[in-house]
Structure 1
């Protein structure tokens, strides 16, 4: 064989592989951190300005009735990453609770051992970064990340180190992204271009999460609109987050990447700002009411996904992983039961989503149901909340007011979300048949008595 032909024969697979990688769309997940589903201009907020996200929503297939699997960041993020529910991943809370009722430090012998077990169990499940890396993607983590070293979960590049001995908990150095600019993002995009590979970017900035330390000008802007300085700071944080999203989206545009990039946006869990405190109000974070689990969910892919504002169809955060894998041409693991977000007909036919709230602190890594507080099902316009009688009322954690103050006994709660989106009127006593039907659906999903 002529040397030139031999060289061509050796190089051809590489050339074809490079071309194949370049043809695959890039993937970006943008995650808001602690933001109510109402707190965007495109969702009807009359005071908060979110021009970058308004534009993204207008260019996307936007589901205004998105739901997360859990109203707390760590289990919610784990579900987005794996396409599984918290009772399946084992990630049901943020921290560990000891027998003495106190948090177990990650740096203690007991805390380190239990967290290593959590990480091992979590990594038994296929995750987005690893599956996409195996499909030829270059992968990057920045922002919130709880499950140890991101590189052990398929991220080739990561801003977080995950080492508790160096202060790691929920993202360490990675939490600086967007709050201190996006230079790390630019560097990663340069690497992806150099390697001529499609990229997967997990962008989960620590915004608008506390501490609420917005730019002075934004704080002063909202001080003129609201009486509470706490609300003014929160509103300013939301607009600051929007500005950083604009910075990221603008970078993609400037590099000519937007047309071949799939962008998904949602929040990890809700937040309703208290006017008298920096803390969150009841029925938001750590609660399965709409203020804790509902989020707009957008997916953009120019010339492939038609922009539509869907006001009615409930969708779940567990739908994200299988959607992205299908787009990337990757076989979806059987354990992922979510639907393709592009298939509105299938989603409308399903018309049902589920989720659960566990306590902030995990009570024994082998007892995944020990800290279960409540479960919810949304079907069409109806929503049922069922409390775990073994954990009601649950202990107050970090200022949390558990459950509904109008329901001190923890009875089932039924809401008509079409007429009552803020869940003011419990209709359970008026519609016992509907409660029974939805309870059957909820128990069919997961009855709260065992973990997989």
Structure 2
């Protein structure tokens, strides 16, 4: 088993506990469980019918939410795709797995040299060097491989060849000299059909192999080019063409999720497959362009970090809409491994969310925001912008020393879910107590 560097973090032992529900693997129809992870790419926590959006229609995800244990207070600890995906597949915070931004340092960066083209030979060398972090991780496909699992990567992927994380099958080639930056050929999934997944399901079933499927389509991510039938529908609902395009992209993504769930039905896999749903990070579309607005992607605000998280396994996981408990994408690996009755790597900070006592005992959840362009090959603190913590209804956003001129922000999320009223000056004691929690969790030297 691989070890990972803690890089100065101070993890509370209680938070590292993982409780195994199953003494042996759970099976359905005398077959081992399969795992499907569905990842939305750039979508706000509000942008679903079941989350109350007045215009966006998501019938397939509405159905999935109804059939799942659905946590509406779910979070990604980081609001940028590459570190977020690394967390989902490893169960570690970005400052632990070391993948803190999208693009690693380049020669001359400290002297103000502009970022070179991704295929530029010297930058390819830097990008290859940064893959040391994924190589040091126990990723979920690697954890399942010894138990006979095939694993298919589709869609978004940043860490070079997917085989580095243990995938046995992949759409992405990951060759940095051929524009293999964040998914390359894999980004066709969903936008250009689901045949690769259909074929994979047929093959694994013919060979009686359990599987792990990573479905991370480039949806509703820009470029926002929805089918005209969907765009026409949403142009009637808003005066902003960029907003209409984004709303249509959300429904297009929902349609592909319906196709995927339909394939599970067609291959008689629904009752034997754990389906997990989560978004990598949030997105609030500007009204004047197909770009993200402030306080969404790359921010510590709810618009960047919050996401519904779902777990569906018919006959095993009781469907429920949980609007109370705090959960995180750090919980995906321990929850999955516990349900499958498999060994979970020591020291993971997440919990098994199917264990009610673990949910009740959780005191807080945490997150961190880093620069898009990574400042150091091996020191996450050099890129740190914010840490954040939620305890109960209170959320503290704490800027690092690098964020000159910024002060702590405190919000009561129950009364102010969109963070419009900063209470930090009115409740300094609460700020202090939450800062103490943050320091006990992760206290970088430069913070």
TM-score (norm 2): 0.91
Q: Deviations over 1:155-212 (max 9, x none)?
A: 0000000001111100000000000000000011011112201110000000000000
User: Aligned pair 1:211/2:223, yes or no?
Assistant: yes
Q: 2:436 aligns with which of 428, 440, 443?
A: 440
Equivalence for 1:285: 297
Equivalence for 2:43: 35
1:383, 1:310 → 2: CA distance?
19
User: Aligned pair 1:418/2:418, yes or no?
Assistant: no
1:429, 1:370 → 2: CA distance?
28
1:106, 1:374 → 2: CA distance?
27
**Contact in 1 for aligned 2:154/2:215 (Cα 8 Å):** yes
Q: Deviations over 1:248-271 (max 9, x none)?
A: 001101211000100000100000
Equivalence for 1:400: none
* Bigger mean CA deviation after superposition, 107-116 or 324-333: 107-116
**Contact in 2 for aligned 1:105/1:111 (Cα 8 Å):** yes
Q: Could you tell me how far 1:43 is from its partner in structure 2?
A: 0.3
Q: 1:345 to 1:104 in 2, by over 3 A?
A: farther
Q: Deviations over 1:407-450 (max 9, x none)?
A: xx311000000000000000011111111111011111101328
Equivalence for 1:167: 179
2:309, 2:115 → 1: CA distance?
33
Equivalence for 2:61: 53
Q: Could you tell me how far 1:113 is from its partner in structure 2?
A: 2.7
Q: 1:26 aligns with which of 22, 34, 42?
A: 34
**Contact in 2 for aligned 1:22/1:197 (Cα 8 Å):** no
Unmatched 5+ stretches in structure 1? 1-16, 393-408
1:149, 1:171 → 2: CA distance?
10
**Contact in 2 for aligned 1:58/1:307 (Cα 8 Å):** yes
More relative contact order, 1 or 2 (CA 8 Å, 6+ apart): 2
**Contact in 2 for aligned 1:129/1:200 (Cα 8 Å):** yes
**Contact in 1 for aligned 2:28/2:271 (Cα 8 Å):** no
Unmatched 5+ stretches in structure 2? 1-24
Q: 1:313 to 1:101 in 2, by over 3 A?
A: farther
1:275, 1:289 → 2: CA distance?
19
Q: Could you tell me how far 1:367 is from its partner in structure 2?
A: 2.7
1:197-346 correspondence to structure 2 within 5 Å: 197-346=209-358
Q: What stretches of structure 1 move > 4 A for 4+ residues in a row? A: 19-22
Equivalence for 1:368: 380
Q: Could you tell me how far 1:22 is from its partner in structure 2?
A: 6.2
TM-score (norm 1): 0.90
* Bigger mean CA deviation after superposition, 273-282 or 117-126: 117-126
Q: Could you tell me how far 1:110 is from its partner in structure 2?
A: 3.3
Equivalence for 1:71: 79
Q: Could you tell me how far 1:23 is from its partner in structure 2?
A: 2.3
* Bigger mean CA deviation after superposition, 40-49 or 108-117: 108-117
SS of residue paired to 1:259: helix
* Structure of larger gyration radius: 1
**Contact in 2 for aligned 1:71/1:270 (Cα 8 Å):** yes
Q: 1:232 to 1:134 in 2, by over 3 A?
A: same
